[in-house]
Amino acid sequence: MRDVEFPEVPRPDEQARRQAVARQESLTKPVGSLGRLEELGVWIAACQGTCPTRPFARPRLVVFAADHGVAANGVSAYPPEVTAQMVTNLLTGGAAANVAAANAGVGVRVADIAVDADTPGPIAGHKVRRGSGVIGREDALTEAEVVAAVQAGRTIADEEVDGGADLLVVGDMGIANTTVAATLAAALTGIEPVAAVGRGSGVDDRGWMRKTTSIRDALRRGRPVAHDPLNLLRVSGGADVAALTGFLAQAAVRRTPVVLDGLLTGVAALLAEDLAPGAARWWVAGHRSAEPAHDAVLRQLGKEPLVDLGLRLGEGTGALAALPLLTLAGRALGEMATYEEAGVSGPVIAPPPLPGAVRD
Ligand SMILES: Cc1cc2ncn([C@H]3O[C@H](COP(=O)(O)O)[C@@H](O)[C@H]3O)c2cc1C
Ligand SMILES: O=C(O)c1cccnc1
């Protein structure tokens, strides 16, 4: 699938990063005392290419919505029509993500990539198909659909960045998508189906068994192509994961930082880093989801999540819960007074170097 190639991903700005490290040492607090917030502030400066940092002007959440054929196996506690119903709920402001976005000052966009229903015109502009194949016995998508979905994600990232977004947050909505995500996580990290499977939106013990079997069957088909991101998306993925993959890679190409959410966005991140090496430097992990496979995915991404609240919702809620921490980190670096400005005496003993420099 040569139609999907990304240009070389730029690095966050090294000069701004160095300036930010130096500035952290000049601010009126013991060196390193803001802990991880200091690393995050440095990361924001490097992504913005400027120090002091600026407050984010237009943070945006994009929720990627799609249905999944594997829902027919009885792997979710909820019926497939909930996907379209929740899309409506997200559009009218009643979902958890709407509240979390409002709390964090983030604008919300919903993109129907493969919902198995008609959705309003403005959100269906990038729709690739309805649903997907039942991944235990057939391919999720055709080659053309994979390409179209990845391109849809790229276009959505471009639209957001061109519209002024300076921080992106990703989310998912789609019944049975944790079965797909767990399959991809197992294929990409090597964990077994029983280690990858989770309760998703709350499946019972019998459903859990059906889900584990579905992941096992899907993994049997997906493992042979696990090293090839686009073919893995075709065999075992879905149009939402493919679009998220394109979106995450393109956000990095466009030098725009992203806050990752739960399991589905995590597997898309692994695939995007594969397609566009270095893209992961532009992402921060918002939270650790209660889905067991998410931990393996985060480890493979080399990301320590900002919060671990036992959330298991998706929609971007974990990322949005963490967002005020990110905002604080940026503002502390940008707005605190220096020792010189405030007339506060600096240390009399040279402080130890800042702990664990930021992954740039
Ligand atoms: C009302 C409702 C709102 C949601 N918001 C996100 N999800 C989350 O749960 C689903 C994945 O779980 P599973 O694989 O078990 O179906 C996805 O839609 C995901 O976004 C929801 C699920 C439901 C039921
Ligand atoms: O990890 C997630 O994001 C998640 C977990 C459960 C249900 N939906 C999403």
Q: What is the pLDDT of residues 54-84, one digit of tens each?
A: 999 999 999 999 999 999 999 999 999 999 9
Non-local CB neighbours of 125 within 8 Å, separated by 6+ positions: none
Q: Name residue 329's amino acid.
A: A
Task: Tell me the C-alpha distance between 130 and 145, whole Å.
Answer: 11
What is the average pLDDT score of the chain? Answer: 96
Report the alpha-carbon angle 203-206-212, nearest 5: 80
* Phi, psi at 62, each rounded to 5°: -120, 120
**Which residue's CA is the closest to the ligand 2 atom numbered 9?**
314
* pLDDT the model gives residue 353: 67
What's the mean pLDDT in 216-240? 98
Q: What is the pLDDT of residues 130-139, one digit of tens each?
A: 999 999 999 9
Residue 261, ligand 2, Cβ within 6 A: yes
* pLDDT the model gives residue 347: 87
**Which residue's CA is the closest to the ligand 1 atom numbered 20?**
173
What domains does the chain contain, in order, with CATH numbers? 59-321 (3.40.50.10210)
Residue 201, ligand 1, Cβ within 6 A: yes
Task: Tell me the C-alpha distance between 99 and 102, whole Å.
Answer: 5
Give the pair of three-digit tokens for residue 202: 């709350």
What positions carry a catalytic annotation?
315
Residue 83, ligand 2, Cβ within 6 A: no
Q: What is the pLDDT of residues 288-306, one digit of tens each?
A: 999 999 999 999 999 999 9
Interface pTM (ipTM) of the complex?
Answer: 0.99
